[in-house]
Structure 1
């Protein structure tokens, strides 16, 4: 007699159990595709169904170190787990029950760890990841609530692990191939860049430079304007790329920084609280002055995960800028930068203008070098 826990469920609950597996399967496929879109983008747009705003975004999770194992997106394993739920539903064998329960238990613990990491360490929430977590916990709860067998089934669990190993190996090979091919994408990137219309540089240049080749911003062959938020994880990722760009194109590039805090305390475009220290961080960097700006800018990003009002206050006291940060003029400078950014329809951070061409999100270093090499060659002719 097959006394599988599924037989204890009503028809609607059986369907719900199958749907949890289907949802996990579909979401994992999407997240795997999103991983490769972010890591190896083929266009300059940042639009994605998974990027709703700067809090509800998949990009921060994708760019985090926990998104992959040796270049293999962990969402690959979600595909297998979702498939195993649907497979169990179809075979409905008591013997496989224990193996599936253990698999879902381990998966559920992993989901909890990732959920907490996203909220606490990244300060964001991946909406599709969260839906996956909910589906995972629902399936696990249904098995637990209906006394699913806890007997470990080596065969079913082994099949799941084997599928994960095989899919992981395929994904590793695919990632390696994409990495090698990314260096050969230069011509394609330049073609896409040339097809985009220049929006021009900001009317009012920023006094804050991360790299300076000429006194007048427009006189450098490469002109990069960055609209950024000190609490934005993707902005921090871009900040790791910028020094490499500055080093490669030293003396040929101007990089100016514009504050665009996603914080309702100084950004009227924000409907509610998000990065609640972003305005204060901007005030701190602004008051540090043009000469110290770059070092303070780097220091804030280095401490992004541990950023607190106490840290900002103590650093302001050390720099002697506490009074400056409280001045209305300081806030107005940041607001003016936000308003100027809005003329370029900046909707997310980081957003960049490379010689007037708008690019959203963080690009691989090879994309930037392809574009900038093209601009240097163009400047010679």
Structure 2
């Protein structure tokens, strides 16, 4: 029941999420409504989450801002993951940080999610070069401490907010830890627009 889904979201106490500098955003930077997404490039539900958010941005271009935070379920950079899950996710997340730095995040993000079934250890590098970053610059950025630190900072924010799986969302600080139908998002956005 849609109404119950929406009520369940707003029954919680909202939290403040402060994304680290260098995090990627879409939509209107000054919007009243902020949707923060914790995502993993190798997670199939995150691909669906990306499609959903794209629909919302097209539907509410002035009303919402989306903040994309990486939460790779990959033990190579996530301290709470104890078994192999998504082996390329940390590298793909760093690729996103590098694409953001060169102003090409949206192309990178769409390209990686589109190719999700065939991702490999080379996909982050290929994804960056496809957006026009030179191979040398892409490799240097992927290996950089700066990219690693940004992803670690984003993961820590997820851990602090008890993110267990991906995708997870916050709308103006209210947590949503499943993929709700579009109609539920419409209702939440309409409600927050009135506040």
Instruction: Give the whole-Å Cα distance in 1 for the aligned partners of 2:72 and 2:113.
Output: 13
On the 8 A contact 1:190/1:374 being kept in 2, the answer is no
* 1:222 Cα deviation from its structure 2 partner: 1.0
The 1:286–1:205 alpha-carbon spacing in structure 2 relative to 1, beyond 3 Å, is closer
Question: Which of 286, 305, 308 is residue 120 of structure 2 equivalent to?
Answer: 308
C-alpha distance after superposition, 1:222-271 (max 9, x if no partner) = 11000000000111111111111001111111100001000011111110
TM-score w.r.t. the length of structure 1 is 0.47
Structure number, greater radius of gyration: 1
Alignment partner, residue 257 of structure 1: 68
User: Unaligned 5+ residue runs, structure 1?
Assistant: 1-41, 43-184, 215-219
| Residue 324 (str. 1) matches residue 136 (str. 2) | no
Distance 1:314 1:266, change over 3 A: same
Q: Which residue of 2 aligns with 1:45?
A: none
Q: 2:162 aligns with which of 338, 345, 361?
A: 345
Once superposed, what is the RMSD of the aligned Cα atoms? 1.7
Question: What aligned pairs does 1:257-296 form with structure 2 within 5 A after superposition?
Answer: 257-290=68-101, 291-296=103-108
Distance 1:263 1:310, change over 3 A: same
Counterpart of 2:35 in 1: which secondary structure?
A: strand
Contact 1:283 1:325 (C-alpha < 8 Å) held by counterparts: yes
* C-alpha spacing 1:313/1:221, structure 2 compared with 1 (3 Å): closer
Q: Using a 3 Å threshold, how does the CA distance of structure 1 residues 194 and 206 change in structure 2: closer, same or farther?
A: farther
What do the CA deviations read for 1:113-154 (whole angstroms, capped 9, x no partner)? Answer: xxxxxxxxxxxxxxxxxxxxxxxxxxxxxxxxxxxxxxxxxx
CA distance in 2, matches of 1:340, 1:206: 14
Out of 22, 35, 40, which is 1:224 matched to?
A: 35
Bigger share in strand: 2
Q: Distance in 2 between matches of 1:260 and 1:354?
A: 17
- For residues 198 and 336 of structure 1, the distance between their equivalents in structure 2, rounded to whole angstroms, comes to 21
State the alpha-carbon separation in 2 of the partners of residues 221 and 313 from structure 1.
35
**Cα offsets for 1:35-90 (capped at 9, x unmatched):** xxxxxxx5xxxxxxxxxxxxxxxxxxxxxxxxxxxxxxxxxxxxxxxxxxxxxxxx
Partner residue, 1:207: 23
1:346-380 Cα shifts (integer Å, max 9, x gaps): 111111111101110211111111111110112xx
Paired with 1:363 and 1:205, the residues of 2 have a C-alpha distance of: 28
Greater helix share, 1 or 2?
Answer: 1
Q: Indicate how the Cα distance of structure 1 residues 239 and 315 shifts in structure 2: closer, same or farther if over 3 A, else same.
A: closer
1:315 and 1:348 map into 2 onto residues whose CA distance is: 24
Paired residue secondary structure (1:286):
helix
Structure with the greater relative contact order (CA < 8 A, sep ≥ 6): 1 or 2? 2
Map 1:90-129 onto structure 2 (within 5 A): none
| Local SS of the residue matching 2:100 | coil
1:288 partner SS:
helix
Q: In the alignment, is residue 241 of structure 1 matched against residue 57 of structure 2?
A: no
Match in the other structure for 1:82: none
Q: 1:194 aligns with which of 1, 5, 10?
A: 10
Q: Cα gap change, 1:343/1:325 in structure 2, threshold over 3 Å: closer, same or farther?
A: same
